[in-house]
Structure 1
Amino acid sequence: MPANLGDRLREVRKRRGKTQNELARESGVSVSLIRKLEQGEREDARLETVRRLAVSLGVPTMRLAAESAEDGASAATLDQWATVRRALTAPLGDVAELDEPPTLEGVRDALSAAVPLFSGDRIADLRVVLPALLRDAGTVAQLDPEGHTVRMRLLQLTGWLLTQTRQFEAAEWCLGAALDGSADRLQGASTVNTMCWLLLRQGKLREARELATQWADDMEPRLSRATPDELGAWGWLLLRLSAAAVRDNRAEEAEDALRLAHSAAAALGREFAPGGDFLRAFGPVTVVLKRTENAMVVDRPDVVLKLAAKVPAAGFRPTSNNRNRHLLDVANAYARTRQYGQAVDTLVSIRDAAPEWLPNQRCARDILGRIMAGRRTLTGEMRSLADTVGLPV
């Protein structure tokens, strides 16, 4: 296949016997964008756009795009997080030269205190506490085997946060180190779950599918004998596999993985978070949230809203790892069906629950842009949301 997206698009379009105008009409992608891509005026496009083109051409998404990633972190974000990234890779000093070397108990307590900052999306606070915590965790890892376990957990959480803030290179380093140092396969599967999410955000669908498939096959338990930890780990890997497959226009593969994840969730019978770990929380509601996400990927806002009505509003704490991400799909579905008031209300609810998380979501900017394009005048709430997500008005 040709090296760039425009050449690949032109080649497949011609093989399918379609004109640019026909492809634009069938895909919903503007003919001007198609022309710019094929003429080399634009070198890339968002994954959602590439998927629409691929659906209309009847090929997997990755046939067109070897990589269509979300935008990386802004220069301002990279600058704000520079001290954290330096702390990740700084060489460990000689413990004997430290006036007050950190203790295992102290670092473990500090990590426990930091976990609510991760689960609560308190990003500004984490920028402050992480540099020292990363350095101290590296030090105690040299002194005590249990310190190594604490450091691996911290690296896993930090890799998740860096993925959340689109610092992909640093996230890859963190998660790779956490996986290499995993104490057991369950801890490794939890890290791989986040690695798959990182690959999805980078647009590396093939790599995400292959990694999730490999680990899901290795982790597959006997449902009648599986522990809750095993069911949750296997279920999440299947959800990542489904997410990669649906984005690559492999509908049957995506549905098969969802069906198996549903079986794992049914065996659990409830939402379960091993040791209270919010990253590993899994159960029937989690599967419904991911089924809703898949429906939005294939542009079925009607299905999104129907499934969303079944998600319990109470007893399921909003976090960026579950309900807030789901609510973005709901807001998108409202916007696509021109229910702009409901879409704005949903975005406001996300902002109120996670004001530091929402600005990092490119999807939120796209949704708000669609809402604003459909309105002649903008309300004060819309302008406020635009400021929050960094969308020019």
Structure 2
Amino acid sequence: MSGDLGQRLQSVRKRRGLTQRELAANSAVSVSLIRKIEQGERDDTRIETLRRLAVALGCPLTALIGAAPRAPESRDGELWAATRRAIDAPRPDVAVEPHAEEAVAESLAAAVRLYHDNRYELLARVLPDLVDASESVSPVLRARILQLTGSVMVQTRQLGTARRVLDHALAAAQASDDLLDAASVVVTLCWLLLVERRFQQVDDLAIDWADRIEPRISTATDRELSTWGWLLLRGSAAAIRDNRPDDADDMMRFAQAAAVAVKREPRGYQDYWTVFGPATVAMKRVENAVIDDRPDLALRLAHDVPTGLRPTSDNRNRHLLDVARAHLDLARPDPALDILIRLSGEARPWLIEQRLAKDLLARLIGRRRTLTPEMRTLADLMHLEY
């Protein structure tokens, strides 16, 4: 108890930018007692004393004495509650006239833009109606609506809901007889499985579907190449996490061949979902190097990633977190902090959903005796636990 209490007190004090002596002056608790608490030498500290410390620090008392972790703000709660209700209690009575299907498709395109622009508050307002409308539209449009919904659920780590909605999306895509749409859903399903650390299932799914749609590179469309390439990237991501670097490299090489054929990432999100090209593969090479505990290689590979990429939650922002992690692994905290500050300005709604970002910030803070104002602002923004 005393050791944990001391660690919590020290963490909160550093977050507030106070020295032990300053905290003593603000709380009327002796500096010697504060020092002993933080060093784990006092296990009989009175609750009144702890309360004075909490008041001086401007934090709840439970932040010092330890309580059940608080639930993430809105991520698994009210923000997406209406979307979850629409998924779990479908309304097939929502009529969509044949001529109105085009309007639903336009609404879907607008929702995709909201997702990629990290505008979650607005997306949470429109997504339930789209899910309701998916019951009465063509299978291919239903599959695309549910794939977007599943991606949102994965992004916000509502994994059980994500599994249910992606299963429905795959069934709808297969009913549409559009093999590429079904394969696109599988790409998102593989992302869910990666988050769940079910690497062998990702490997099996990715290879199976890549074999099903394998294009002739010389004559394939960009859509065919992109879908095939993304399946290979998912398989490579699973292999490197499963300590199979040779398999990861093999799939990355095939993905690179597809990217070379595509030549460059298209502008915007064509063919509904995402982008694919040489920059995408370059970023995923960096990610694999970080996972493989080769931060020096990751930073060298990062030089191959074009600058000026559009901030999106798909690839570029995650890539920047990978670069930040590589810097931290090489004991370079300043550029890692610069990246987190940059992302907090460019993609704040996305950043606060990322467990990796929180872990990186915790590592940064843990190495500092005192915190900068930027560090304290980031810690509050990302709800870093006391």
Structure-1-length-normalised TM-score: 0.75
Which residue number in structure 2 is paired with residue 34 of structure 1? none
Q: Give the distance between the partners of 2:268 and 2:351, measured in 1 at CA.
A: 27
Q: Indicate conservation of the 8 Å contact 1:273/1:280, yes or no.
A: no
Q: Indicate conservation of the 8 Å contact 2:223/2:271, yes or no.
A: no
Which residue number in structure 2 is paired with residue 10 of structure 1? none
Q: Deviations over 1:321-369 (max 9, x none)?
A: 0100000001111112221111111011111111111111111111111
Alignment partner for residue 78 of structure 1, among 58, 76, 79? 76
Q: Give the distance between the partners of 2:365 and 2:184, measured in 1 at CA.
A: 39
* Number of positions where the alignment pairs a residue of Structure 1 with one of Structure 2: 313
Q: Deviations over 1:144-199 (max 9, x none)?
A: x3xx4322211111101110000111111111111111131111111111110100
3-state SS of 1:321 partner: coil
Q: Give the distance between the partners of 1:336 and 1:91, measured in 2 at CA.
A: 47
The amino acid of 1:77's aligned partner reads R
Q: Given the alignment of the two structures, is residue 174 of structure 1 paired with residue 173 of structure 2, yes or no?
A: no
Alignment partner for residue 360 of structure 2, among 367, 378, 388? 367
Q: Give the distance between the partners of 1:83 and 1:343, measured in 2 at CA.
A: 37
Which residue number in structure 1 is paired with residue 241 of structure 2? 247
Q: Given the alignment of the two structures, is residue 112 of structure 1 paired with residue 109 of structure 2, yes or no?
A: yes
Q: Give the distance between the partners of 2:128 and 2:384, measured in 1 at CA.
A: 31
Alignment partner for residue 147 of structure 2, among 144, 153, 156? 156
Q: Given the alignment of the two structures, is residue 231 of structure 1 paired with residue 225 of structure 2, yes or no?
A: yes
Alignment partner for residue 198 of structure 2, among 192, 204, 213? 204
Q: Give the distance between the partners of 1:102 and 1:386, measured in 2 at CA.
A: 50
Q: Indicate conservation of the 8 Å contact 1:228/1:272, yes or no.
A: no
Q: Deviations over 1:293-334 (max 9, x none)?
A: 0000011111111111221112x2121101000000011111
Once the two structures are TM-superposed, the CA of residue 108 in structure 1 deviates from its matched residue by 2.6
The more displaced of 100-109 and 333-342 is: 100-109
Q: Indicate conservation of the 8 Å contact 2:94/2:133, yes or no.
A: no
3-state SS of 1:77 partner: coil
Which residue number in structure 2 is paired with residue 89 of structure 1? 88
Q: Give the distance between the partners of 1:332 and 1:375, measured in 2 at CA.
A: 17
Q: Deviations over 1:73-112 (max 9, x none)?
A: 848422222211111132425468x9x9993243233223
Alignment partner for residue 353 of structure 1, among 346, 349, 352? 346
Which residue number in structure 1 is paired with residue 134 of structure 2? 137
Q: Deviations over 1:231-284 (max 9, x none)?
A: 111111110010000000011100101111111111222124796247431111
Sequence identity of aligned pairs in percent?
47
Q: Given the alignment of the two structures, is residue 270 of structure 1 paired with residue 264 of structure 2, yes or no?
A: yes
Which residue number in structure 1 is paired with residue 332 of structure 2? 339
Structure-2-length-normalised TM-score: 0.76
- Indicate the structure (1 or 2) with the bigger Cα radius of gyration: 2
Q: Indicate conservation of the 8 Å contact 1:269/1:284, yes or no.
A: yes
The amino acid of 1:109's aligned partner reads E
The amino acid of 2:382's aligned partner reads V
When residues 297 and 275 of structure 1 are mapped into structure 2, their CA distance, relative to the original with a 3 A threshold, is closer
When residues 133 and 380 of structure 1 are mapped into structure 2, their CA distance, relative to the original with a 3 A threshold, is same
Q: Give the distance between the partners of 2:217 and 2:260, measured in 1 at CA.
A: 10
The amino acid of 2:335's aligned partner reads Q
Choose between structure 1 and 2 for higher RCO, CA contacts under 8 A separated by at least 6 residues: 2
Q: Which runs of 4+ in 1 moved over 6 A?
A: none
| Unaligned residue ranges in structure 2 (runs of 5+) | 1-68
Q: Indicate conservation of the 8 Å contact 2:94/2:132, yes or no.
A: no
| Unaligned residue ranges in structure 1 (runs of 5+) | 1-70
Which residue number in structure 1 is paired with residue 214 of structure 2? 220
Q: Give the distance between the partners of 2:85 and 2:288, measured in 1 at CA.
A: 37
Which residue number in structure 2 is paired with residue 390 of structure 1? 383
The amino acid of 1:370's aligned partner reads R
